Structure 1
Amino acid sequence: MSCDASLLDLGNDSFAFGNREVVQRHDGDVENNIPYSAFAALLELKFAEFRKELNSNFNIKIDSLRSDVNSLTVEIKGLQQNINCVNEKVKALELENVDLKSKLAKCESNQSPGIRALQDSVTRLETELNDRDQAALSNDLEISGIPEFKEESAVHIVLATAKKIGVPLEECDVVSVERAGPVRDAAQAAGPESARPRPRPLVVRLARRAVRDALLKAARVRRGANTEGIGLPDHTASKFNVHDRLTRKNRILFGKARERGRSEQWRFIWSIDGRIYVRKSESSRVYRIRTESDLDRVFSIPSNNPIV
């Protein structure tokens, strides 16, 4: 390795390296190699310079990193302030919501007689309109559970069903027959019988109310009759039901009454001429259900009330 000319004076027999004196050996000419001790000293100096440069670069990087950390800290503080501000607004909204609910409950509990009278009038009018709509269906009934087939004759099905339960009908007794509800998907209707959707009920309008009453009475007597022998294509015989046709409001109310009756273990829930009745047991009182408010009122009554 060549010697650094700034450190070695090759014209002298000796040179100074730091605080030490190095003797130069030669055979007339200066030797191209330096002693080990001089090489070690030179190497140590080189390492010192490298460490100094490395420390300088490291300090620069550290300063840059500290600057980035400081900037990030400022951003985090700003985000924390924003979060605190949002939390305060949320708490304020929650308090406002609680206050509004309290005021609303207070208003509902302190309704003026005029408002209560108006609400009672609206409820009474709605009930009267529903009763009128139900009266318009006095010649109608529904037959559910009859399998549905493509290009079926609905009138023929009604006539055959009536004959099945013991009430012979003529075509002139039937004003109209149709399936209620949206048309089933063709692919589902043509699939396996077990995978077919539940058939839509048949809505029947009869010419006379007496005929409708006779059908309903016969259906109650022959409860459990099935579709075998009524002229349908090959199918698995299933039970069918003949019942009143209800308005949409009464149909929803009847469904809720049946659900509530099952949960409260009331044995009898039925409808006659569009009127819904419930009864806890054979020895208990019969109640009529006209509105949803009647459900809570009736089903909360003790079951030991006698029939009146």
Structure 2
Amino acid sequence: MASPKICSGCKLTLPAKEFMVCSKCKSKYDLMCANLTLKRFTSMESRQKSSWKCPECCSYIPKSATTNTTSRSHSEDIATDHLNIPLRNKPIRDLATSQEDCTFVKEDKLRAIIQEEFCSALKNNIKDLIRAELKITNDKIDSFQDAINFINAQYEEMKNSLQEKSTIISALKTENEKLKKDVKELGNRLNIMELHSRDSNIEINGLPENRSENLTNTLNQLAKIVNYSLVTEDIQHVTRVAKLSRESNRPRAVIVKLRSPRQRDAFLTAVMKFNKANVDKKLGSHHLGIGGTHSPVFVTEHLTPENKSLHAATRKKAKELCYKFVWIRNGRIYVRKDENCQALQIKSTDTLSLLN
């Protein structure tokens, strides 16, 4: 590996290109020891660089041929004294160099230049960094904006759909309320029609079943027991009906349709009188000559399914509130607290809840 080039003046390593070579002694000097600026060095031609002489060689050039011995001796003394002076403290310029305007940069100015260059570079770097970050942020904002626009479109679609569904639901709700009202009115009308269709009917519960039974004969025998005059022509129809619950062990009820509501009321009155006269032996299966276990027989009006449920709930509520009387008249349910209170008609469960 080649040894580094050394400046003959300051004994420091020379730069790669910015140095001068003496045309006479071939010594190498950096620009400071050669008393040259970088601007001057770059503007010099090759001819000037090849003919350049170092300060040391320039100091040995004689002034003229006519100089006397004393002058030469004095000049040699000056040259000898010059050799003892450091080259950096008193550099000697050639004629061309002395005519060049060389400006030295002071420390404060150099620091200001470096600071300005550093600030400029830092400012540019910061601008580039900020610009890059802002570009990334803008891209993210654009993506967020696209997502928000998509969500907003979906929201508007859902909102419109919800408003449409709300309108439909509101219309259906109104229609449902109207239908409920109509159904209730129709139910009341149907209940009234059923009451009218059953105003001549009586219902007999607890009558034991037999395969060979004759319900007409049984009904005639029952009328005789309660002392009511009933002929076969007064019985328009008699039959057993299906149970409400198949799991029930009770016999099926018997429905009897008489000629008129007046006959029905007279028959029920006769049964009521018989039970009052025979408190200990109320109407039962043994009165009808039916063998087996004795079971009570109940004769009542033929109620609609709705009134049957309401009658059962009324009897339960009256028992809880110590009401003495619960009865049915012409398909309507009545209650009375005691003998001194007024009778109340139970039309629905809402009326039943008002009892106290």
- Aligned-pair identity in percent equals 27
1:178: which partner in 2? 239
What residue in structure 1 maps to residue 249 of structure 2? 197
How far residue 181 of structure 1 moved from its aligned partner, in angstroms, is: 1.7
1:160–1:231 contact (8 Å) kept in structure 2: no
Q: Give distance in 2, aligned partners of 1:283 and 1:133.
A: 33
- CA shift, 1:115, in A, is 9.4
Cα distance in 2 for partners of 1:294, 1:228 equals: 40
Measure the CA separation in 2 of the matches of 1:115 and 1:153. Answer: 50
Q: How does 1:143-182 map to 2 (within 5 A)?
A: 143-182=204-243
Q: 1:184 to 1:277 in 2, by over 3 A?
A: closer
Which structure 2 residue ranges, 5 or more long, are not aligned? 1-172, 276-281
- Cα pair distance change 1:283/1:243, threshold 3 Å: same
Question: Residue in 1 aligned with 2:268?
Answer: 216
- 2:347 and 2:245 mapped to 1: Cα distance? 33
Alignment deviations for residues 164-202 of structure 1 (CA, whole Å, 9 cap, x no partner)? 1011322111111111224999xx9xxxxxxx9222221
Q: Matches of 1:113 and 1:284 in 2, distance apart?
A: 43
Q: Highest relative contact order (Cα 8 Å, sep 6+), 1 or 2?
A: 1
Classify the secondary structure of the residue corresponding to 2:266. Answer: helix
CA distance in 2, matches of 1:236, 1:141: 24
| Partners of 1:267 and 1:132 in 2: CA distance | 31
Aligned to 1:62: none
Q: Is the 8 A contact 1:157 1:231 kept in 2?
A: no
How far apart are residue 279 of structure 1 and its match? 1.2
SS of the equivalent of 2:193 reads helix
How far 1:227 moved relative to its partner? 2.6
Mapped to 2, the partners of 1:153 and 1:184 lie a distance apart of 25
Q: Name the residue aligned to 1:60.
A: none
Amino acid across the alignment from 2:255: V
Deviations 1:251-279, CA, capped at 9 Å, x for gaps: 11111111111122211111111001111
The TM-score normalised by the length of structure 2 is 0.45
Report the residue type matching 2:353 in the other structure. Answer: D
* Cα offset, 1:113, TM superposition: 12
Alignment: residue pair count: 178
How many Å separate the matches in 2 of 1:248 and 1:266? Answer: 24
Matched, 1:226 2:284: yes
Q: Is the alpha carbon distance of 1:294 and 1:183 closer, same or farther for their aligned partners in structure 2, counting shifts above 3 Å?
A: closer
**Inter-partner Cα distance in structure 1 for 2:187 and 2:249:** 34
CA-CA distance at 1:280 after TM superposition: 1.4
User: Is the alpha carbon distance of 1:122 and 1:170 closer, same or farther for their aligned partners in structure 2, counting shifts above 3 Å?
Assistant: same
CA–CA separation in structure 2 for the residues paired with 1:136 and 1:164: 28
Q: Which amino acid aligns with 1:228?
A: H
Give the drift of 1:121.
Answer: 6.2
Structure-2 change in CA distance of 1:119 and 1:161 (3 Å): same
Structure number with larger C-alpha Rg: 2
Which of the residues 284, 295, 298 maps onto 2:352?
A: 295
Q: Encode CA deviations 1:137-161: one digit per residue, 9 max, x unaligned.
A: 0110011121111221111111111
Measured against aligned partners, the alpha-carbon deviations of 1:211-263 in whole angstroms (never above 9, x if no partner) come to 2111100011111222324243x223332121100011111111111111112
Gaps of 5+ in 1: 1-111, 189-195, 301-308
- Which one of the candidate residues 322, 326, 338 is aligned to 1:269? 326
Distance 2:252 2:347 in 1: 26
* TM-score computed with the length of structure 1 as normaliser: 0.52
